[in-house]
Structure 1
């Protein structure tokens, strides 16, 4: 008889915590002035996935 090897389903690549909304935000530029809004803007970028967000003060 031959040896029977167990079949495993290939796993999808793991995206980490960012997939569930737990980003690790890092400040890209601290003081940027937005001319349309007339406010100071802080830009953040996630260290894990690279997503960016903007926060106006």
Structure 2
């Protein structure tokens, strides 16, 4: 006999898990080492990427 899977809508808490902090400005920033040089400006930059939502911010050195 096959295993029966429940087909239910995910709850709002499960759907938005970890994103509510980012919406309120509490990102979890980590340094993205893949990109460290800005070609257009010719300067070194530090790229920060949020672990939860994937947003990025840049800081010139």
The structure with the largest helix share of the pair is 2
Runs (4+) off by over 6 Å: none
TM-score, normalised by the number of residues in structure 2: 0.59
Larger Rg: 1
Task: Please list every run of 5 or more consecutive structure 1 residues that lacks an aligned counterpart in the other structure.
Answer: 1-9
CA RMSD of aligned residues (A): 2.4
The number of residue pairs the alignment matches comes to 48
How much does 1:30 deviate? 7.3
TM-score, normalised by the number of residues in structure 1: 0.62
The structure with the largest strand share of the pair is 1
